[in-house]
Amino acid sequence: MRGSRTCRHPVRRQRSAADGEYDRGVVLYVCADGTSFGSLPAPVAHPCGRAAVALDRAGHSYELKKVKGGTLKFWTWPSRAKDRAVIEQLSGQRAVPILVLDDGEVLTGSGRIVEWAQQHAPAAAG
């Protein structure tokens, strides 16, 4: 899939962008716009929102973390490297969304996250 990458990180506890550490839970990192406009049809849907909507529809539990800085928000460019350092550490890039799975695997890009969410829907409680 073009523009998406899957990484595996052996370290199970990573620093979060905002408030410390997470403990092996699934974490979706998104931009400051968060989950806005995720329900719109592709390609109009915002990538971060599209990823969150796919996870929600598939029934996944996850922690949502917003990071500062935006590609089209030129006023954030001077601090983008600092604001997205954790994203770059986890994925090798500064772009979001990224999904960090509970085993440390990192999925980048909304297309890859949507695909994963659909293919790995949690079992229904019965």
In a domain, 1, yes or no: no
**pLDDT for 77-99, tens place per residue?**
667 778 889 999 999 998 999 99
Residue 104's CATH number: 3.40.30.10
Query: What's the confidence (pLDDT) of residue 16?
Result: 40
**Coil, strand or helix at 10:** coil
Q: Could you write out the three-class secondary structure of 48-109?
A: HHHHHHHHHHHCCCCEEEECCCCCCCHHHHHHHHHHCHHHHHHHCCCCCCEEECCCCEEEEC
**pLDDT for 28-82, tens place per residue?**
999 887 777 766 676 778 899 999 999 999 999 999 999 987 666 666 666 777 8
Q: Sign of the CA dihedral 41, 114, 88, 63?
A: positive
The residue segments making up the domain with residue 79 are 6-119
In a domain, 124, yes or no: no
